[in-house]
């Protein structure tokens, strides 16, 4: 089952461990799209942040800000009529994480730096927002075995889940498919992937909720 041609730029989003990069890769491979991924392993401050968040939150966040701004800043709106693109992040998520990890003074500095970058990211044709409970996120994080991620605890993921829920409750910049990802594996399970693509094909303007546990949309 193919995706509609109107989806030239698709973004997969969600909290740490939910499977957004895996799904972005699967969609990209299936439709022959150019893949745009975050590169957390290149952030030298990220392992230190998980070990000492109060000390390293600001440099870790600024590194991500510059990285995301540079990557999306080279992507001009007219380029979206070229090959399809699939990304595993929205630029706006950078501020979501900043608000979660920075204190008031650090946030003020972050806002000042961000305003000077003047990034105008392209608008996605579709955003797929993956949701999962904290227990699922912790299990998936443990399975992938990234050493510094072993320091992530349930309290942080709970705050992150809540921040994502608030963010997407107000999100109206693109059609939004909200997916209960707790029991879906679109990479290892072809039926799961086909069901998800079917949900995308049923998308219209606005937003739609897809819950595989109920075998359809809600």
Task: Output the pTM of the full model.
Answer: 0.89
Please give the tally of structural domains in the chain.
Answer: 1
Give the integer Cα–Cα distance in Å for 164 and 97.
Answer: 9
DSSP string, 81-127: GSS-EEES--TTHHHHHHHHH--HHHHHHHHHHHHHH---PPPPSEE
CA–CA distances in Å: residue 52 to residues 61, 105, 148, 167: 14, 18, 11, 26
Calculated CA dihedral for residues 182, 188, 191, 196, nearest 10 degrees: 50
Residue 2: inside a domain, yes or no? no
- pLDDT tens digit string along 45-60? 999 999 999 999 999 9
How far apart are the C-alpha atoms of 203 and 83, rounded to whole Å? 21
Q: What confidence tens digit (pLDDT) does each residue in 21-52 have?
A: 989 998 998 888 889 999 999 999 999 999 99
Residue 99 structural domain: 9-217
**Is 163 within the bounds of a domain?**
yes
Distances (CA, A) of 32 to 25, 35, 49, 86: 10, 9, 36, 10
Q: Is residue 3 in a domain?
A: no
CATH number of domain containing 61: 3.40.50.300
What pLDDT is attached to residue 67?
A: 93
């Amino acid at each position: 089952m193919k995706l509609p041609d109107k989806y030239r730029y698709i973004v997969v989003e969600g909290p740490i461990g939910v499977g957004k990069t895996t799904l972005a890769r699967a969609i990209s491979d299936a439709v022959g799209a150019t893949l745009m991924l975050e590169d957390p392993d290149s952030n030298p401050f990220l392992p230190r942040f998980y070990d000492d968040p109060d000390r390293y939150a600001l440099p870790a966040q600024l590194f991500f800000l510059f990285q995301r701004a540079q990557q999306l800043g080279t992507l001009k709106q007219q380029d979206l009529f070229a090959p399809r693109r699939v990304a595993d992040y929205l630029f706006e998520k950078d501020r979501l994480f900043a608000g979660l990890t920075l204190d008031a003074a650090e946030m003020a500095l972050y806002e000042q730096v961000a305003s000077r970058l003047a990034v105008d990211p392209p608008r996605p044709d579709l955003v797929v927002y993956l949701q999962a409970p904290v227990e699922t996120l912790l299990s998936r994080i443990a399975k992938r075995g990234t050493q510094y991620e072993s320091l992530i605890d349930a309290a942080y993921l709970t705050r992150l889940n809540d921040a994502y829920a608030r963010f997407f409750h107000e999100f109206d910049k693109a059609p939004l498919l909200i997916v209960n990802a707790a029991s879906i594996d679109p990479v290892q399970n072809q039926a799961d992937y086909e069901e998800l693509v079917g949900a995308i094909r049923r998308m219209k303007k606005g937003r739609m909720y897809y819950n595989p546990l109920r075998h359809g949309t809600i």
